[in-house]
Amino acid sequence: MPTYKFLVYEETGKDFQINISDLKNILPEHFSVKKEKEGLIITINYDKKDHKNHEDPQKEAEKELERELNRIYFITSYNLKHKTIQANNKKILECQLGWEVYGDISKLDRQEWKDDRLDVQLALWRMAEETESLPLKILLNYLIVEIDRENDIHNNCLKYKYIHNNHPYYLRECYLIRNLIAHQFKVNKEVKDYCKFLGIPQEHYNPYNKEAENKLRERYNKILREEAKKIIKKKLSMKD
């Protein structure tokens, strides 16, 4: 039976601030969790049948764990990372890891992973949250939205770009926020109107204009980031 062990422990060496029972309850049944002296050990076991279904069982185990850790990160901001320490009873390496604690995983349930896009969206979310760069945050979260809402963004919402008082329709605004930082060619009328709506110069993103960047960041947090979050949250298996 192929066995893959992953070491997870807190960078500062303090006690874990995560409920181990809750962690066990949300991970797949072929995962086991044990707190040992060196830290938290998560073990993934494949039976012979499962083993034959994967060309590279170790790579598959790492992918399974990564998407579970990204799911935990989305809900809680636990910055969990992992390194393989054992594969088929052979020690490979260990690494010091760390996390930030902001939430509670007890609301999560075991994930069914029926949507093959969710693991990508969770990875994009984590990348966006960990970077300080506003343009990167915008691009990564826009990808999350575009994966699910491409048709709405590029076709349906063209019928209703704006709602009352020249306020952009929220999906169209996601598109415009992305356009402001993704291009540097001549500003078209729609982008100019959106800049006017934001109260910023009618130009594409300028990292030296901090006032305009702060206004764009505010709309990013309120519109684009929230839409990406809503899309992911709908796909998570949560307890009633």
- pLDDT (0 to 100) of residue 91: 40
* DSSP annotation string for 170-209: HHHHHHHHHHHHH--S---HHHHHHHHHHTS-SSS--TT-
Contact of 182 with 216, CB cutoff 8 Å = no
Burial class of residue 115, CB neighbours in 10 A (0-12, 13-18, 19+): middle
Taking a C-beta distance cutoff of 8 angstroms, is the pair 2, 46 a contact? yes
**Which of the pair, 57 or 135, is modelled with greater confidence?**
135
Residue with tokens 């130009």: 203
Token pair of 210, please? Answer: 């901090």
Q: Specify the pLDDT at position 156.
A: 60
Model confidence at 9: pLDDT above 80: no
Question: If residue 48 lies in a helix (H) or strand (E), which one and from where to where?
Answer: helix 48-53
What integer pLDDT is reported at residue 223 of this predicted model? 93
What's the Rg (C-alpha) of the chain? Answer: 21
pLDDT at 168 > cutoff 50: yes
Q: Where are the domains of the chain?
A: 3-111, 119-235
Structure-derived torsion over alpha carbons of residues 160, 236, 108, 128, reported in degrees to the nearest 10: -70
Task: Choose among 84, 85, 40: nearest CA to 63.
Answer: 84
**Average pLDDT of the residues in 126-154:** 90
CA gap 148, 232 in Å, rounded: 10
Output the average pLDDT for the chain: 79
| pTM for this prediction | 0.78
Nearest alpha-carbon partner for 177 in 137, 214, 216, 221: 216
Give just the sign of the alpha carbon dihedral 225, 227, 230, 236. Answer: negative
